[in-house]
Homo-oligomer: A and B are copies of this chain.
Amino acid sequence: MITALAGGVGAARLLAGIAGVIDPTEITAIINTGDDVTLHGLHISPDIDTVTYTLAGLGDAERGWGLAQETWHVMDALARLGGQAWFRLGDTDLATHLYRTQRIHEGATLSQITHEISSSLGVRSSLLPMSDDPVKTYLTLASGEEVGFQDYFVRFHHDVPVSAIRFEGASRAVPSPGVIESLSSADTVIVCPSNPLVSIGPILSVPGISDTVAARRDSVVAVSPIIAGRALKGPADRLMSELSHEPSAAGVARLYAHLAATMIIDVADAALADDIEATGMSCVVTDTVMSTPDKAMELAKRAVDASGSSHAA
């Protein structure tokens, strides 16, 4: 059994890789909901959807989000009406948000809904929102203004300096059913190559999750989302730098050293292995760029095996 802490695209690719090397029913993903946003009255869970669509084989590999063969009739009409079309929601994707929102109005939990949608799309792994309670990531901009994650990410193209991050609601949030159990009982816990501050950070902010992971640190493996000082996608490098973390695989290791015994870094960062081991982690150096499904499976295999190998090391 493998349990993974997951953000969006990087996590989805690694999870698809893991599902290629072990039985998908043995995988549980605990997914960030700090990015969830209500837009047009619809409850949108971007990271849950990215993981769901990717594991269902329906994701758009090129764009990295949303669905392949998507159409855009609703957004085009909304733009003609002068509506808020900056957050592009494809027609098929919108059906997911309509379904989720209707079920929330009916009193279903995000866990139940996530299970319904993912099952309906043929996903065999367990996808768990980190919490059924609302936790919302806010970023303080250099101007002092505080904005929600999607405003920062989509509207401002994550192109504005950030001075602080806050997870509203986290202190009162409860891990969703199965989260603590799957983190305790998994053979290996994998921290996916997602943004440590705004994708993994919100998950760890939910009371109980970080402690449960730390308590089984020996068999926890983290994969660096930073390669040669850069995030493959998104603002992880800049955010780390702006918030006084070294924007490197070693900086990531320092954030995770208390939780994970093993760190997987890219071959481009081999020179950082000593720095990483100085944090008390074992370091596995491999190709971490998941440019094809095969490469994702190779990385997945290293991650699944790394916990065993670090024990042996």
**What residue of chain B has the Cβ atom nearest to residue A79's Cβ?**
B95
Q: Interface with B: A24-32, A33-41, A236-244, which one?
A: A33-41
A41 to B40, CA, bound (A): 9
Flag whether A176 is at the interface (Cβ < 8 A): no
Write out the residue numbers on chain B whose beta carbons fall within 8 Å of the beta carbon of A98: 40-42, 74, 78, 83
A94 to B38, CA, bound (A): 16
Output the least CB separation between A281 and chain B (Å). 42
A97 to B89, CA, bound (A): 14
Given contacts A38-B105, A41-B43, contact A99 B81 (CB under 8 A): yes
Output the least CB separation between A23 and chain B (Å). 25
Flag whether A111 is at the interface (Cβ < 8 A): no
**What residue of chain B has the Cβ atom nearest to residue A102's Cβ?**
B40
Flag whether A143 is at the interface (Cβ < 8 A): no
A38 to B98, CA, bound (A): 11
Partner of A104, one of B41, B84, B117: B41
State the interface size on chain A (CB cutoff 8 A): 34
**What residue of chain B has the Cβ atom nearest to residue A42's Cβ?**
B41
Flag whether A92 is at the interface (Cβ < 8 A): yes
A97 to B102, CA, bound (A): 14
Write out the residue numbers on chain B whose beta carbons fall within 8 Å of the beta carbon of A41: 41-43, 98, 101-102, 104-105
Flag whether A109 is at the interface (Cβ < 8 A): no
CB within 8 Å of B: which A42-95 residues: 42-43, 71, 73-78, 80-84, 91-92, 94-95
Given contacts A40-B101, A41-B101, A102-B41, contact A95 B81 (CB under 8 A): yes
Q: Which residues of A contact B (CB under 8 A)?
A: 38-43, 71, 73-78, 80-84, 91-92, 94-99, 101-102, 104-105, 116-117, 120-121
Q: Which 8 residue pairs of A and B lie closest in terms of their CB atoms, listed nearest first? A: A77-B95, A41-B101, A73-B91, A40-B98, A78-B95, A83-B99, A77-B92, A41-B41
